[in-house]
Each structure stands twice: as C-alpha cells, then as structure tokens.
Structure 1
C-alpha cells in the first residue's frame, strides 16, 4: 500500500483514539507502519494485525516467524499473533495494551500517554514493546519523515477550548433553568387567568339575572363608583339596571370583589 494511502486510512482512527485515551496519534501510525511494513506484511494481510501484538485476538490467532533481540544479537522464533476482523480492531487492541499493560505491570506503557512523539517512542520501547535497541529512533524517523506529528495536534483539545466548552455548558444549564421556570410561571399564570375568567363569568350570569328581575331605573349617585368599577373590570357593559341591581353591585364593590377582578 502506498504511504499516503496507508496514512490516510489509519490517521482518522489514530486521531480519535488520541482524543479519547491520550495515545499520541503519531506513535500509533508510526508503529503500524514499522510493524506492518505499510500494511504489506504477511501478518497484516492474513490477520489484520498492524502492531505485531501476540496472543489470541477477536478472530483467533496465526503463527508467524518473528525477529527478537538479546542485546545486539538477532534471532528468529515462531510466535502466535492475534488475528482481527478489521484494522480498527487492531488499533483498539493496541490502545488497550498501552492503557492496561500486562498483568504483572499494568502501567508499563503509561509513559506514552499524553507525551510528545519523541518521549512516547522511547517510553513504548522501555516498557518492553520491542527488543530492538533502535526501535525508538526508527519510530521517530518515520514520524518526522512523513510529518506524522501533525496528527497529534488534531487529537489535542486546547485549554482555551476546554474553557469555552465549560462556559457554553454553564450557559446551556442556565438557559434550561430559565426555560423550566418560565414554563412553571406560565402554568401558574394560566391557572390564575382561568380562575379569573370563571369568576367573571359567574358574576356576569348573576348580574344579568338581576337586571332582568326589575325594571330599569336611573343610576343613583351612591352606586356610581361600583358601576364604574364593574364596567372597567369588564363585568358589565353599561350603567343600566334596577335598584336591586345597583345595590348588589355596591355590595360587591365594597367587599372588594370588583377590584380583585380588575
């Protein structure tokens, strides 16, 4: 596979893993390049294994020869390697290995997390990922040759962005509280209006019945404040009525009922 094609296929997965877990994207891509020979190794073609991780994977395992080192001495042995259904599973497993280490040393690769690419390249080797003494320099050379450090910048969340996110989150929470409060107030107001409308309708019904019981008469001066208050509050439309009607309106006015409706 051509270098640009390989990097283009793997970089989105590596960047997303860096955002979620802190494994430098440049290290993930460089290790995949080095371990898989740009995706052309037999292990990668047969098992989708980009990183040479040994053991049994989601799709089983394959046995392959591998080169190991004792100091500066090279030797070849057969080993069982993990098999995956797709490349993304291989990347996820690589990330888990860095996060969880091994049973005897869970934190053996933690020097990689959040580190710059040079520190990460050395830390992964010191943790025992590879025995090749030139492993860190090989990774650094790949990263710098192909500019893989640019993907570390894509995977980082800047401090000012974190502050902005927190500010926006606080604003959203405040707006949600305001919306809830407005909804509660609207419900209370609706109930109050409905109650007032019911009272007005009841009074109008009573007053209409009083108006029809007696003949109309001239508005007495003592009833004028009550009648004007009733008109203003919307209970009646005009000043016409009987003596008993005016007297009842005056009683309602003095009890403060007409004012409460206003």
Structure 2
C-alpha cells in the first residue's frame, strides 16, 4: 500500500477518534505508520495490529519477535500481540489504551490528549509506550514529512476561543460599517441642509429682484406698454416687474385695444 493510500484509509478513522476522545490524529497516523511500516509488517498482515499493542485482542493473539531497548542497546524478544478483525478495532484499542493507561498508572498517556503533534510524540514515549529513545523524533519526522498535523482538530476550548475571535472580528467589522453609514448619513444631511439654505437664499434674492424696478421696460412687456400708452391708460411707464406682468396680462385680455376699431 502506497503512503497516500495508507493515510487516506486511516485518516478519517483517526480524525473521528480525535473528535470524540482528543487523541491527536497526527499521533494515531504516525504511530500506525511507524509500528506497521505502512501496513506491511507481519503483525499488521497477520493480526490487523497497527500499533504493536501487546496482549490478547478481540480476535485473539499472535506471537511475534520484537525489538526492545535497555538504554540505547536494542535486543530481540518474542512477545504476544493482540489480534483484531480490522483496522477500526486496532484504532479503537489504541485510543482506549491512551485513555485508560494501565492498572498501575491509568493516566500515564493523558499528556497526549488535545496536545500539539510534537508534545503528543514526546508524551506518548514518556508514558512508556515504547523504549526506543529516538521514538519521539521518529514520530515527529513522519508527522512533518507527510504533514499529518493537518488532520488534527482544535480542542473544545480552542474551538470556542476561535469562534469568539471570529464573532468578535465580525462584530467589529459590522460596527465599522455602521460608523461609515452613520458618517455618510450625517454628510448627506449636512449637504441637504446646505442645499436648503442655498435655495432659501436664492428665493429671497429672487423676491428682492422681483420687487425692484428695472432700469428699462422688459422686452416681454414692450407691446403691453405701447398699447397702454396708445389707449392713454399709461403716462409713466416705470414700474416693478409685478407691474409689467399685470400690464402684460391686461394687454392679452384686450383691455388696451383701440375702441375705434
């Protein structure tokens, strides 16, 4: 089985276990890769045992040679290993071992729970899972080479913190948008107020101009003025714009028409 096929097959199982119990998926994957040699070891082939867990499993046990260490000195012994009906059972047993530890020390592996991948690799070794002094570095090397830490999930506390940070960021963004809208609204009101004042000023100027007498008869009132003079109804043609408008209206009504016609 190729590395990417092995990871693709085991990653969903490891991730689900982490979601339920907090055992880092990166640790489960790295230990399975190291202990089973990508699923090709005799123990995995014969017993579906991915993690080298000793004892009797759901499907019995098998006796296999294994390498142990006294300090930095390796030696080989025959040992009884658990046998499983499938990889799911092997992962479940691995998780139970980490959660329950041993009779003499039930919490021996609890340092790995919800830990980052480097801490998990060190804590599983400190708990006595393996005697190889290079075991943590071997796990970390696998984790980093294949980016197994990308399968790890945040702890419930970290997930809540991330949610709070996300909501805070969204709230701050909304508050910023509201402030911007408020500023735009205030600017629009100010513009409307200025325009209103301008209109009032123009209206006042127009009224003032309308009340003033023009320097000469407006072109549009010349015919009315002539007709009024001819009808001897007007002696002084000077007047205001209102006067000329009224004169124009009377002219259009025929008031100044020649009575001889």
For normalisation by structure 1, the TM-score amounts to 0.60
Equivalent residues of 1:15, 1:155 under 8 A apart: no
Contact kept in structure 2, 1:49 and 1:82, CA below 8 Å: yes
Q: Which runs of 5+ in 2 are unaligned?
A: 165-261
Other-structure match for 2:52: 52
Number of the residue aligned with 1:19: 19
1:134 and 2:97 equivalent? no
Aligned to 1:117: 117
On the 8 A contact 2:18/2:153 being kept in 1, the answer is no
- The residue aligned with 1:76 is 76
1:146 alignment counterpart: 146
1:158 matched to 2:159? yes
How many residues in Structure 1 have an aligned counterpart in Structure 2?
Answer: 164
Change (3 A) 1:15 1:63: same
Asked whether the equivalents of residues 114 and 155 of structure 2 are also in contact (C-alpha less than 8 Å), the reply is no
Q: Deviations over 1:26-58 (max 9, x none)?
A: 000000000000000000000000000000000
How far 1:154 sits from its partner (Å)?
7.4
Q: What displacement does 1:160 show? A: 5.4
Residue 161 of structure 1 deviates from its aligned partner by: 7.2
Q: Is the 8 A contact 2:19 2:153 kept in 1?
A: no
What's the counterpart of residue 228 of structure 2? none
Give every structure 1 segment of 4 or more consecutive aligned residues whose post-TM-superposition deviation is greater than 2 Å: 153-157, 160-163
Give the root-mean-square deviation of aligned CA atoms.
1.8
CA contact (8 A) 1:50 1:90 kept: yes
Say whether the 8 Å CA contact 1:16–1:155 is kept in structure 2. Answer: no
**Which residue is 1:66 aligned to?**
66
Give the alignment's TM-score, normalised by structure 2.
Answer: 0.60
What per-residue deviation string (whole Å, max 9, x for no partner) do you get for residues 80-105 of structure 1? 00000000000000000000000000
Whole-Å Cα distance in 1 between the matches of residues 91 and 115 of structure 2?
18
Equivalent positions of 1:166-205 (< 5 A) are none
Structure 1 match to 2:32: 32
- Tell me how far apart the structure 2 counterparts of residues 30 and 85 of structure 1 sit (CA, whole Å): 21
Contact 1:56 1:81 (8 Å CA) reproduced: yes
Partner of 1:133, secondary structure, is coil
